[in-house]
């Protein structure tokens, strides 16, 4: 039995829309209805039977739909899955929908609580819902679903996989995508449509995020909020309009500004002219430019079922907010494509040069900020003569060490760096216990922990995974792969021991480690462990 913690209260996130919109389960004409009998309660917890019994209906696809009138929700599940009433007594009613791939657990009633440091967007039938993701050491995934206020009670829950298979993760998310609530209080999402114009908003049912999309609120968003994907290749999203007719459509994208200035200038949006377009048009977009306005993606001949796909990239954040499809008439003889696919997509300035190290510190790298995009940092520098062993703990230290003390401020983070004159000895003042909340991920978690020779960096993500990001090198494409749990444990352990380490390799290149501890030079064993890891990571297939 998995331990349960009540889902977090995040507020009303879903709105009243057509229940069947965008669910992957086809409906069947008049399905059979079967009453579901709850499990018998233990003597210690007498039951209080719902006034309206839940029911199960079968669809032609083999999927079944469970409807709980009193709980105010319905959810569908595939063959091999089944519902199980875990608790039918107040203050919390709990039903598990379980199969070989995993479980979706729905809870409703009272007594929700908890905290979430980085909620992501997951798709349900009526739009998006908050969820706190995590990954266990065995590779299984877990999501704590944010609580939604229905008219009479709160509703939330959990979802988890039984194994690390990506197909299991997708099946659990497919089941969750069918979840529908009765109309909660609050405004409806900002989707709008007419015969000649369709708008898909990121909060509505026609926007489908996959991977880690985080909520981002600025004063430039369309609708209630917009979403942001961190660097990497695993996050995608689709805007799926319901086009009434084929024809020539001009398409527009609206993205919100990011106050951290970490958006990529080389984003990619794919235009799929039909549901099975074998050669979609890739359009390059600069997320740094013109936030808060409609930007044309070009004019294309579309069929019903056409959609836009938004891809995350390695060299900055991608934002997704709203998308507009405007009918311009019958199919045109030629399409208008405003921007080609960006070329030369690379991760730049990782690690910073010595000059950057002296002027800005390595905070930009630690936060995963592409240096050409980030907001200028406030830096106060003073020449300093340090006690060598106190400022830069390592074997062989002694006497004094000339250098610079730099106080670096970036939004809510202020750190004091000690930098030796040659910039090869760098430590952070007070970076042992005090910075642990920053390290594990709050508003500005440290994300980059290691750069390896030949290109590539290991990033920490808020769902608890560690990934190697490698840019294209002319002979191989961009790649994004999760490192092993043993490698992640090594990095996590060493991050509490060392600060910035520049470690030369046998080939004459340099590996850089960005830790949060006091040490300025690794022990022989730790240096060898990092070099071994760099070789292992470099050898991973793309």
In this model, does residue 39 exceed pLDDT 70? no
57 plus 204 within the same structural domain: no
Shared domain for 413 and 442, answered yes or no, is yes
Q: 170's torsion region: left (phi>0), alpha (psi -120 to 50) or beta?
A: alpha
Residues 322 and 368 in one domain: no
CB 316 within 8 A of CB 262: yes
> Quick one: angle between helices 485-495 and 524-538, nearest 10?
140
197 and 158, same structural domain? no
Confidence band (pLDDT; 50, 70, 90) for 254? very high
13 inside domain: no
pLDDT at 367 over 80: no
- Give the sign of the dihedral formed by CA 398, CA 399, CA 403, CA 404: positive
| Average pLDDT value over all residues in the chain | 81
Percent of the chain at pLDDT exceeding 90: 44
Q: Are residues 162 and 81 in the same domain?
A: yes
- Domain termination site, one of 181, 204, 239: 181
In a domain, 127, yes or no: yes
Q: What SS3 string covers 184-253?
A: CCCCCCCCEECCCEEEEECCCCCEEEECCEEEECCCCCCCCCEEEECCCCCCEEEECCCCCCCEEEEEEE
Domain assignment present for 27: no
Nearest to 94 by CA among 24, 182, 219, 1: 1
Q: Rounded to 5, what percent of the chain is helix, strand, coil?
A: 10, 40, 50
With beta carbons less than 8 A apart as the criterion, state whether 371 and 364 touch: yes
Question: Is the pLDDT confidence value at 400 over 60?
Answer: yes
Q: How far apart are CA 352 and CA 529, in angstroms?
A: 23
The DSSP secondary structure of 99-150, one letter per residue, reads -SSEEEEEEEES------SS-EEEEETTEEEEEEEEE-TTS-EEEEEEEEE-
Identify the residue with better confidence: 301 or 41. Answer: 301
Give the pairing of strands 73-77 and 141-149: unpaired
Q: Same domain, yes or no, for 46 and 177?
A: yes
Instruction: Characterize 64-98 residue by residue with b for buried, 16 or more Cβ atoms within 10 angstroms of its Cβ, and e for exposed.
Output: bbbbbeebbbbbbbbeebebebbbbbeebbbbbbb
Tell whether the model's pLDDT for residue 28 goes beyond 50.
Answer: no
Please check whether residue 113 is in contact with residue 132, taking contact to mean a CB–CB distance below 8 angstroms.
no
Q: pLDDT, tens digit, for every residue of 302-326?
A: 999 999 999 999 888 899 999 999 9
Percent of the chain with pLDDT over 70: 78
Q: In what order do the strands lie in the sheet with 267-272?
A: 207-210, 236-239, 307-311, 267-272, 281-285
- Indicate if 385 and 524 belong to the same structural domain: yes
Closest CA to 465 of 155, 139, 220: 139
pTM, to two decimals: 0.79
**What is the C-alpha separation between 369 and 311, in angstroms, rounded?**
18
Q: What is the mean pLDDT of residues 126-149?
A: 89
Per-residue confidence (pLDDT) for residue 67, from 0 to 100: 95
- CATH number assigned to the domain comprising residue 153: 3.40.1000
Residue 118 domain flag: yes
Q: Is the predicted pLDDT of residue 421 greater than 70, yes or no?
A: yes
Does residue 342 form part of some domain? no
Q: What is the DSSP string of 323-371?
A: EEEEEEESPPSS-B--SPPP------SSSPPHHHHHHHTTHHHHTT--T
Same domain, 87 and 57: yes
358 band by pLDDT with thresholds 50, 70 and 90: low
Say if residue 395 is in the same domain as residue 298: no
Tell me: pLDDT of 345 over 90.
Answer: no
Q: Spell out where 5-46 has E strands.
A: 33-35
Among residues 181, 212, 239, the one where a domain terminates is 181
Length of the chain: 542
Instruction: Answer with the residue of higher pLDDT: 25 or 137.
Output: 137
- At residue 348 the predicted structure's pLDDT band, cuts being 50, 70 and 90, is very low
The CATH number assigned to the domain holding 274 equals 2.60.120.260
Who wins on pLDDT, 187 or 365? Answer: 365
Last residue of a domain, one of 329, 346, 372: 329
245 and 145 within one domain: no
282 falls within a domain: yes
Domain of residue 373: give its range. 354-538
177 pLDDT above the threshold of 90:
yes
* Tens-digit pLDDT profile for residues 274-292: 999 999 999 999 998 889 9
Q: Give tens-digit pLDDT for 222-238.
A: 988 899 998 889 899 99
Question: pLDDT category, 388, cuts 50, 70, 90?
Answer: very high
Does pLDDT of 31 surpass 70? no
pLDDT for residue 79 is more than 90: yes
Residue 154 and residue 215 in one domain: no
Whether residue 341 is predicted with pLDDT greater than 70 in this model: the reply is no
pLDDT of residue 22 exceeding 60: no
Cα 393 from Cα 396, distance rounded (Å): 9
- The kind and range of the H/E element at 436 are helix 436-440
Q: Domain for residue 11, yes or no?
A: no
Claim to verify: residue 96 and residue 161 sit in the same structural domain: yes
503-517 pLDDT per residue, tens = 988 888 889 998 888
Kindly state whether residue 1 falls inside one of the protein's structural domains: no
Q: Which helix (H) or strand (E) holds 534?
A: helix 524-538
pLDDT at residue 396 is higher than 80: yes
Q: How far apart are CA 467 and CA 461, in angstroms?
A: 8
Instruction: Tally Cβ neighbours within 10 Å of residue 162.
Output: 15
Three-state secondary structure string covering 403-428: EEEEEEEECCEEEEEEEECCCCCEEE
Mean pLDDT calculated for residue range 4-21: 32
Mean of pLDDT values over 480-488: 90
How many other CB atoms are found less than 10 A from the CB of residue 486?
A: 9
The total number of structural domains in the chain stands at: 3
Of 371 and 113, the structure prediction assigns the larger pLDDT to 113
Q: What is the pLDDT of residues 41-68, one digit of tens each?
A: 333 443 444 457 788 888 878 999 999 9
């Amino acid at each position: 039995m998995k331990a349960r913690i009540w889902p977090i209260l995040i507020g009303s996130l879903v709105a009243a829309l057509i229940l069947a919109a965008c669910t992957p389960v086809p409906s069947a004409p008049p399905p059979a209805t079967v009453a579901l009998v709850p499990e018998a309660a233990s003597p210690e917890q007498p039951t209080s039977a719902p006034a309206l019994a839940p029911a199960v209906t079968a669809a032609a696809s083999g999927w079944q739909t469970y409807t709980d009138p009193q709980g105010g929700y319905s959810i569908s599940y595939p063959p091999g899955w089944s519902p199980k009433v875990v608790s039918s007594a107040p203050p919390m009613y709990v039903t598990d929908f379980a199969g070989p791939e995993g479980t979706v657990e729905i809870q409703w009633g009272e007594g929700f609580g908890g905290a979430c440091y980085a909620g992501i967007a997951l798709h349900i039938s009526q739009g998006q819902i908050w969820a706190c993701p995590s990954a266990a050491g065995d590779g299984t995934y877990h999501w704590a679903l944010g609580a939604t206020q229905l008219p009479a009670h709160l509703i939330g829950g959990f979802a988890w996989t039984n194994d690390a298979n990506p197909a299991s993760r997708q099946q659990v998310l497919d089941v969750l995508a069918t979840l529908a609530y009765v109309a909660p209080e609050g405004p409806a999402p900002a989707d709008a449509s007419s015969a000649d114009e369709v708008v898909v908003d990121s909060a509505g049912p026609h926007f489908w995020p996959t991977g880690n999309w985080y909520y981002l609120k600025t004063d430039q968003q369309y609708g209630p909020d917009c979403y942001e994907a961190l660097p990497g290749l695993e996050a995608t999203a689709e805007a799926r309009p319901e086009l009434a007719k084929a024809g020539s459509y001009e398409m527009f994208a609206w993205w919100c500004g990011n106050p951290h200035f970490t958006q990529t200038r080389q984003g990619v949006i794919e235009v799929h002219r039909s549901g099975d377009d074998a050669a979609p048009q890739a359009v390059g977009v600069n997320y740094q430019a013109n936030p808060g306005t409609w930007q044309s993606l070009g004019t294309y001949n579309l069929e019903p079922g056409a959609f836009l796909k938004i891809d995350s990239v390695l060299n900055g954040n991608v934002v997704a907010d709203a998308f507009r499809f405007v009918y311009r008439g019958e199919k045109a003889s030629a399409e208008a494509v405003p921007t080609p696919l960006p070329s030369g997509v690379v991760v730049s300035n990782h690690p910073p040069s010595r000059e950057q190290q002296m002027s800005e510190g390595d905070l930009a790298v630690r936060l995963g900020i592409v240096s050409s995009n980030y907001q200028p940092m406030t830096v106060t520098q003073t020449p300093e003569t340090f006690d060598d062993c106190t400022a830069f703990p390592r074997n062989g230290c002694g006497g004094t060490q000339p250098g610079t003390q730099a106080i670096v401020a970036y939004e809510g983070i202020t750190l004091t760096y000690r930098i030796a004159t040659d910039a090869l000895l760098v430590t952070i003042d007070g970076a042992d216990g005090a910075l642990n909340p920053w390290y594990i991920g709050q508003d500005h978690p440290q994300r980059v922990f290691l750069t390896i020779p030949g290109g590539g960096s290991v990033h920490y993500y808020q769902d608890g995974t560690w990934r190697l990001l490698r840019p294209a090198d002319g002979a191989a494409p961009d790649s994004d792969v999760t490192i092993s749990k043993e490698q992640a444990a090594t990095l996590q352990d060493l991050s509490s021991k060392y600060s910035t380490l520049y470690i030369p390799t046998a080939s004459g290149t340099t590996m850089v480690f960005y830790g949060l501890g006091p040490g300025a030079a690794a022990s022989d064993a730790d240096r060898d462990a990092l070099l071994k890891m760099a070789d292992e990571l470099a050898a991973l297939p793309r």
